[in-house]
A and B are shown apart, each in its own frame.
Chain A
Amino acid sequence: MPHWLQLMLDSLPTLLWAALIFTVPLTLLSFAFGLAAGLVTALIRLFGPKPLVAVARFYVWIFRGTPLLVQLFLIFYGLPSVGILLDAFPAALIGFTLNIGAYTSEIIRAAIGSVPKGQWEAAYSIGMSWSQAMRRTILPQAGRVAVPPLSNTFISLVKDTSLAAAITVPEMFQAAQRIVATTYEPLILYVEAAALYLALSSVLSALQTRLEARLNRYGGFLEARS
């Protein structure tokens, strides 16, 4: 067996383990929380009172306009100066959640806005309240519009979790770095790490395709072409 293949096989369990206990949970949790934050932010921007709208805009402005790596550094290395000490994983989780929340709020806002006004009126005309119309009529249709751009954000997030290595989270990329430190084989290990990220995002792309097919089963204005 060639040396490079041997090295890859030997390091694979370590990398997979790091992915399983850090990369994947960090991705899933920060996307779930980020999506919730994005939905709340989008609803505030569309329907909230003026002062709250200003707060929401400010939040999106800050977190979209500054580098994710800088945000992580501020949370992990900066906040202790004002007495807020966080472990590496929660710090990363908070950073990614806030970042994802800012990006997804814009996607959700646009998706809700894309549902025709007539659908609100149809919902109201059968007696629905605002929240019933939102839940039963608007969000399911907005969801379909939002899935492709949300998937983009999700796939970016999987790869961006490698930035957590810089604030000492022992996720997959950091595991690769550690092996490089002892083997001095950066090319082999980083190619392997890249391949594993590629595999993860490929799984997500496949899931996206299936989800879109399901959401498109009723046909209509956004016909899926396959």
Chain B
Amino acid sequence: MIGLTNIEKRFGDNLVLKGVTVAIEEGSVTALVGPSGGGKSTLLRCINLLEIPTSGTVRIGDETLEFRPGIKVATRDIRRLRLQTGMVFQNFQLFPHRTAIENVMEGLVTVLKWPVERARERAMALLEKVGMAHKADAWPATLSGGQQQRVAIARALAPSPKVLLCDEPTSALDPELAQEVVDVLGQLASEGTTMVMATHDLRLASKIAQEVVFLDAGVVVEKGPASVVFSTPEHQRTKRFIATLKQEAGESQ
């Protein structure tokens, strides 16, 4: 289980997250939705501490870290918590100088010190899972965006994280390529992978997510089961936003 309690994040004078509290059940998929600049990406990055919260508590499984203004948390503790997470980025961010399978092996070999052969076996199994085994030895630059993102998903899953964080995983892809990524994430969800995704892809959110958290201006406006929030949102702000998403989705089809 993942718990974010009273998370505040300040960039200079700009308070991006204003005391956000979210609990995520193990095995569930949570979509963070909301307008750009609403704080969903920042909140996601606070879970694996790519952004250090100004204050608040982050809990993943048995690991808990508390943040307070002006107090520096040890790098060792940050890495220990981060190792419980895997992340998929909007722009894939595969290591361009490593082949697909080397990308997946990297965390196992360099960080977890696995023997190369064992890492290769696990990497190959993961590439098979995301349908990329046939491109194991390809350079990232030779892969399509959708293929790169699927390799990136395998890379993020390699160290067996407790949660997979996805930051706009389909936003850089055209609809056809986005579909293959949605399919892979959907399959992972059905296998019980805990996921948190920041997205404004309605197809992704409505197909995969059970829980939706609607963030605007750094606060949680509304949260609840995806079926409820998407069909009968409570707040005016959420209604308007979901209406625009539906309109966009309709236009792009």
Binding site for B on A (CB under 8 A): 116, 118-119, 121-130, 132, 136-137, 140-141, 144, 217-221
B86 CB-CB contact with A under 8 Å: yes
B:64-114 near A, CB below 8 Å: 75, 79, 82-83, 85-87, 89, 91, 93-99, 106-107, 110-112
Q: Which residue of chain A is the closest to B155 with respect to CB atoms?
A: A126
Among candidates B48, B91, B96, B106, residue contacting A141 with C-beta atoms closer than 8 Å: B96
Interface size class of B (residues with CB under 8 A): 20 to 34
Chain B interfacial positions (CB closer than 8 Å to A): 48, 50, 75, 79, 82-83, 85-87, 89, 91, 93-99, 106-107, 110-112, 139-142, 155-156, 158-159
Assuming the contacts A121-B89, A127-B82, asked whether A219 and B141 have C-beta atoms less than 8 A apart, the reply is yes
4 nearest CB pairs, A to B = A126-B107, A219-B141, A122-B93, A125-B87
| Chain A interface mostly | helix
Name, among A116, A123, A126, A221, the residue most crowded by chain B CB atoms within 10 Å (CB to CB).
A126
A125 closest partner in B (C-beta): B87
Nearest CB of B to A194, in Å: 39
Q: How far is the CB of A122 from the nearest CB of chain B, in Å? A: 4
Is A122 touching B95 in the complex (CB atoms < 8 A)? yes
Residue contact A118 to B82, C-beta cutoff 8 Å: no
A125-B82, A217-B139, A218-B97 are known contacts; what are 10 more A-B pairs with Cβ within 8 Å?
Answer: A121-B93, A122-B89, A123-B95, A124-B50, A125-B48, A127-B82, A136-B106, A218-B139, A220-B140, A220-B141
**B141 proximity list for chain A (CB < 8 A):** 218-221
Pick the contact of A119: B82, B95, B142, B159 (CB < 8 A). B95
A219-B142 contact given A125-B50, A126-B106, A141-B96, CB 8 Å threshold: yes
What residues on A are CB-neighbors of B75 within 8 Å?
129-130
Looking across the interface, which residue of chain B has its beta carbon closest to that of A144? Answer: B97
A–B Cβ pairs within 8 angstroms, 22 of them: A116-B93, A119-B95, A121-B93, A122-B87, A122-B94, A122-B95, A124-B50, A125-B50, A125-B82, A125-B86, A125-B156, A126-B107, A127-B83, A128-B107, A129-B75, A129-B79, A130-B75, A136-B110, A218-B96, A218-B139, A218-B140, A221-B141
Of chain B, the residue at the smallest CB distance from A132 is B110
Contacts of B106 in A (CB 8 A): 126, 136
Residue contact A127 to B96, C-beta cutoff 8 Å:
no
In the assembled complex, how far is the CB of residue A218 from the closest CB belonging to chain B, in whole angstroms? 4
Complex interface: chain B residues within 8 A of A128 (CB):
107, 110-111
Q: Is B86 within 8 A of A126, CB to CB?
A: yes
Q: How far is the CB of A29 from chain B (nearest CB, A)?
A: 29
Nearest B residue (CB) for A219? B141
Contact A127 B111 (CB under 8 A): yes
Residue on A nearest B107 in the bound complex, by CB = A126
Residues of B within 8 A of A124 (CB): 50, 82
Cβ A220 vs Cβ B139 within 8 A: yes
Q: Which residue of A lies closest to B106 (CB)?
A: A126
- Given known pairs A125-B50, A127-B107, the reply for A118 and B140 (CB within 8 Å) is no
> For B99, what are the chain A residues with a Cβ–Cβ distance below 8 Å?
218
Q: A118 is contacted by which of B91, B111, B139 (Cβ under 8 Å)?
A: B91
A124 to B89, CA, bound (A): 12
